[in-house]
């Protein structure tokens, strides 16, 4: 018989590995594994989400008539690894062919590639065709280009999918990108849709008990768990987004507001990344909403760009640059990430908000990740590998293929500008412009140096100053370096001194 191995982020019924299989001659293997639940100290909600979604998916497959051999985390004899569980399954079943979709992570794909020799059985590994751009297609697109930029890749993906093109194949509305219209700050009296939540069923409650018992020391609260764990519920989350949030998604994409974790964001990355939602389908639904007059173009284009643009682009970069990508550290940063990243206990209100929401929901939206926690880590010179591990731990949507390029590349400039054209570094004024955080902070965002000054202000100039040799050639930093050079020496020294004092106190 055929054995189809389905990994925890492959919960899609139309997987390439299942095509051509018959239900009477196939066993599907799924396994909850120590190695996967522990390669970083995942947020408790992330663990519950994945294991509960796996258990529900196994039931869905059984309901369709498939035979599923499902190994639970606490089953006796569970070896704890993908390879170990394949070995045991080969003893249980009379298998002539093992089939699997290639893992999304380099670490696991490398293990898969040893299986044929190790087990002396035919192993067929399939490309993961749930993405819009194949890995080889990205490599072909990137080949020979002096600089890789998401915008040009994105236009190719628009042409490939036909999304938001007019009858002549030109971009809808005449422009490819409406990002400049998507930067409105939050207003405190905005009417915000409520996040769709789900009461945990028995399966989820069982997993919660298991995770509470085994991973009690991991970050996160389970009492605020509200993720969908089935395809139907994930689709309901997306339907609610289309109805309540999409129209304002564009305008307020970068906004941040105290006590509001979700604003007009979709909160669908966890579902996309494990296969409960399909990326092309959600983009087509967004286009349909635009064409029906239910959402403006800047919202629809902004949303579609994140998915067929950024999401596919970072995946392409990951597979092109691994395995050494994970070790890059262009700025030679080596400071430990402060312990408040795990507790949220800091007087910096922006950080305590972004981290507090992360602890409560295993979620923070893009600008919080990039311009609050990411920006701060970049400015203090935190070791990018530690920063990468933190993001991999704390977010329910975190898988290395998408998290690593976003963190190490986009946020920490660890790849020296391969992914992003400049470091995403900013002083407190950007945070003040896009949020209401500074209004209730102990620090004064308007004060540049000295006691009570917003730490981001001095840290920003200190970052540029200490990294000058490495960053000087970057034409997008010409202006800030010019401003720095025009400052009188006393002011420069005051910035240096303030930043040094803050960093010393940070430890």
Q: What are the start-end ranges of the H helices in 162-201?
A: none
Least distance in Å: CB of 460 to ligand DLZ?
Answer: 35
Which among 88-96, 168-176, 212-220, 393-401 is the span making contact with ligand FAD, rule CB under 6 A?
393-401
**Of residues 289, 322, 282, 277, the one with CA closest to residue 305:** 282
- How many Å separate Cα 167 from the centre of its chain? 34
Q: How many CB atoms lie within 10 A of CB 327?
A: 10
Give the list of residues 6+ apart from residue 198 with CB closer than 8 angstroms, or none. Answer: 226, 227, 228, 229, 233
Note whether 348 and 443 are within 8 A (CB).
yes
Beta strands in 118-266 (DSSP E): 122-126
Residue 104 or 405: which CB sits closer to ligand DLZ?
104
Strands 67-71 and 26-31: parallel
Task: Locate 382 and state its tokens.
Answer: 């935190």
Q: Which of 78, 83, 306, 474 binds ligand FAD (CB under 6 A)?
A: 306
Q: Does 141 contact ligand FAD by CB under 6 A?
A: no
Which among 118-126, 209-217, 263-271, 326-334 is the span making contact with ligand FAD, rule CB under 6 A?
263-271
Strands 97-101 and 67-71: unpaired
**Of residues 207, 275, 205, the one with CA closest to residue 235:** 275
Restricting to residues 86-125, which ones interact with ligand DLZ according to CB under 6 A?
103-105, 108
Restricting to residues 439-498, which ones interact with ligand SF4 according to CB under 6 A?
441, 443, 445, 454-456
Residue 267 or 359: which CB sits closer to ligand FAD?
267
Residue 33 or 379: which CB sits closer to ligand SF4?
379
Q: What is the DSSP letter of 408?
A: I
Q: Does 42 contact ligand DLZ by CB under 6 A?
A: yes
Instruction: Pick what 85 binds: ligand SF4, ligand FAD, ligand DLZ, none; C-beta below 5 to 8 Å, kind-dependent.
Output: none
Q: Which of 56, 102, 231, 265 binds ligand FAD (CB under 6 A)?
A: 265
Restricting to residues 391-430, which ones interact with ligand DLZ according to CB under 6 A?
399
Residue 260 or 321: which CB sits closer to ligand DLZ?
321
Instruction: Pick what 310 binds: ligand DLZ, ligand FAD, ligand SF4, none; C-beta below 5 to 8 Å, kind-dependent.
Output: ligand FAD
Q: Which of 432, 449, 467, 498 binds ligand SF4 (CB under 6 A)?
A: 432
Give the whole-angstrom CA distance, residue 138 versus residue 156. 10
List, as one string, the DSSP characters of 259-287.
TBS-TT----HHHHHHTSS-HHHHHHHHH
Least distance in Å: CB of 372 to ligand SF4?
Answer: 8
Q: Does 43 contact ligand FAD by CB under 6 A?
A: no
Instruction: Pick what 314 binds: ligand SF4, ligand DLZ, ligand FAD, none; C-beta below 5 to 8 Å, kind-dependent.
Output: ligand FAD
**Of residues 401, 400, 419, 399, the one with CA closest to residue 409:** 419
Q: What is the DSSP letter of 146?
A: S
With the C-alpha atoms ordered 196, 199, 203, 204, is the resulting torsion angle positive or negative? positive
Residue 89 or 164: which CB sits closer to ligand DLZ?
89
Q: Does 47 contact ligand DLZ by CB under 6 A?
A: yes
**Which residue is nearest to ligand DLZ, using beta carbons?**
8
Residue 93 or 439: which CB sits closer to ligand SF4?
439
3-class secondary structure for 82-140? HHHHHHHHHHHCCCCEEEEECCCCHHHHHHHCCHHHHHCCEEEEECCCCCCCCHHHHHH
Least distance in Å: CB of 318 to ligand DLZ?
Answer: 11
Least distance in Å: CB of 325 to ligand FAD?
Answer: 14
Longest CA span, the chain: 79
Note whether 314 and 279 are within 8 A (CB).
no
Instruction: Pick what 50 binds: ligand SF4, ligand FAD, ligand DLZ, none; C-beta below 5 to 8 Å, kind-dependent.
Output: ligand DLZ
Q: Which of 4, 7, 289, 431 binds ligand DLZ (CB under 6 A)?
A: 7
Q: Which of 269, 358, 432, 449 binds ligand FAD (CB under 6 A)?
A: 269
Restricting to residues 321-350, which ones interact with ligand SF4 according to CB under 6 A?
348-350
Least distance in Å: CB of 328 to ligand DLZ?
Answer: 20
Q: Which of 9, 235, 251, 436 binds ligand DLZ (CB under 6 A)?
A: 9
Least distance in Å: CB of 365 to ligand FAD?
Answer: 5
Instruction: Pick what 431 binds: ligand DLZ, ligand SF4, ligand FAD, none; C-beta below 5 to 8 Å, kind-dependent.
Output: ligand SF4
Strands 26-31 and 2-5: parallel
3-class secondary structure for 48-94? HHHHHHHHHHHHHHHHCCCEEEEECCCCCCCCCCHHHHHHHHHHHCC
Give the whole-angstrom CA distance, residue 49 versus residue 42. 11
Where along the sequence are the contacts to ligand DLZ (CB under 6 A)? 7-9, 31-33, 36-37, 42, 47, 50, 103-105, 108, 399
Where along the sequence are the contacts to ligand FAD (CB under 6 A)? 265-269, 272-273, 303, 306-307, 310-311, 314, 365-366, 369-370, 374, 391, 395, 397-398, 402-403, 406-407, 410-411
Where along the sequence are the contacts to ligand SF4 (CB under 6 A)? 348-350, 428, 431-432, 437-438, 441, 443, 445, 454-456
């Amino acid at each position: 018989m055929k054995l189809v191995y389905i990994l925890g982020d492959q919960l899609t019924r139309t997987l390439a590995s299942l095509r051509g299989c018959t239900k009477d001659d196939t066993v599907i293997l799924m396994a909850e594994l120590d190695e996967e639940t522990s390669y970083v100290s995942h947020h408790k909600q992330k663990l519950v989400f994945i294991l509960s979604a796996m258990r529900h998916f196994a039931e869905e497959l059984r309901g369709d008539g498939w035979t599923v051999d499902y190994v639970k985390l606490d089953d006796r004899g569970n070896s704890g690894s993908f390879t170990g569980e394949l070995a045991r399954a080969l003893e249980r079943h009379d298998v002539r062919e093992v089939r699997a979709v290639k893992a999304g992570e380099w670490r696991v794909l490398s293990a898969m590639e040893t299986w044929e020799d190790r087990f002396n059985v035919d192993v067929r590994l399939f490309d993961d065709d749930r993405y819009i751009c194949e890995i080889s297609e990205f490599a072909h697109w990137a080949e020979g280009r002096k600089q890789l930029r998401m915008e040009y890749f994105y236009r190719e993906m628009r042409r490939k999918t036909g999304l938001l093109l007019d009858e002549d194949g030109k971009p809808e509305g005449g422009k490819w990108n409406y990002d400049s219209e998507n930067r409105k700050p939050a207003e405190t009296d905005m009417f915000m849709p409520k996040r769709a939540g789900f009461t945990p069923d028995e399966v989820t409650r069982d997993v919660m008990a298991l995770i509470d018992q085994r991973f009690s020391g991991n970050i996160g609260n389970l009492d605020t768990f509200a993720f969908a764990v089935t395809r139907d519920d994930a689709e309901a989350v997306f339907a609610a987004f289309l109805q309540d949030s999409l129209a304002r998604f564009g305008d307020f994409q970068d906004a941040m507001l105290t006590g509001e974790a979700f604003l007009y964001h979709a909160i669908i990355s966890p579902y996309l990344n494990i296969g409960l939602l399909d990326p092309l389908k959600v983009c087509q639904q967004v286009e349909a909403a635009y064409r029906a007059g239910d959402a403006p173009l800047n919202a629809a284009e902004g949303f579609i760009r994140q998915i067929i643009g950024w999401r596919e682009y970072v995946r392409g970069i990951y597979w092109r640059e691994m395995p050494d990508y994970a070790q890059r550290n262009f700025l030679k940063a080596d400071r430990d990430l402060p312990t408040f990243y795990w507790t949220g206990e800091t007087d910096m209100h922006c950080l305590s908000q972004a981290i507090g929401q992360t602890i409560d929901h295993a979620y923070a939206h893009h600008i919080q990740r990039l311009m609050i926690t990411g920006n701060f880590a970049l400015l203090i010179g935190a070791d990018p590998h530690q920063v990468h591990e933190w993001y991999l731990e704390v977010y329910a949507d975190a898988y290395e293929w998408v998290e690593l390029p976003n963190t190490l590349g986009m946020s920490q400039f660890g790849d020296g500008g391969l992914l992003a054209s400049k470091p995403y570094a900013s002083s407190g004024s950007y945070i003040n412009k896009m949020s209401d955080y500074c209004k209730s902070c102990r620090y004064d965002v308007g004060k540049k140096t000295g006691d009570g000054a917003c730490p981001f202000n001095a840290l920003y100039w200190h970052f540029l100053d200490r990294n000058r040799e490495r960053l000087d050639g970057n034409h997008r930093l010409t202006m800030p370096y010019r401003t720095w050079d025009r400052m009188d020496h006393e002011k420069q020294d005051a910035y240096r001194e303030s930043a040094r004092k803050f960093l010393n106190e940070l430890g």
